């Protein structure tokens, strides 16, 4: 059974800014990173506004 780490916008944004989202997977020894629909919508809104740092 694989663990899923659920991350909020603040955590993801912080790791994205330094280009290390993959570090979350390493820290928690998992291969799955999940977000709630609200977090996904926040990221989509940022991408729509042109914030490319939010894109994987």
Interval 6-52: pLDDT, tens: 888 888 888 888 888 888 888 888 778 888 999 999 888 888 888 77
What is the model's pTM?
0.66
In this structure, the number of other CB atoms found within 10 A of the CB of residue 56 comes to 8
Q: What residue spans define the domains of the chain?
A: 4-54
The pairing of beta strand 4-6 with beta strand 32-34 = parallel
CA 41 and chain centroid, separation: 12
Half-sphere exposure at residue 33, Cβ-oriented, CA atoms within 13 angstroms: 18
């Amino acid at each position: 059974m694989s663990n899923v780490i659920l991350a909020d916008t603040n955590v993801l944004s912080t790791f994205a800014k330094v280009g290390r989202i993959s570090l979350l997977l390493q820290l928690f020894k998992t291969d799955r990173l999940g977000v709630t629909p609200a977090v996904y919508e926040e990221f989509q809104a940022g991408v729509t506004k042109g914030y490319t740092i939010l894109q994987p």
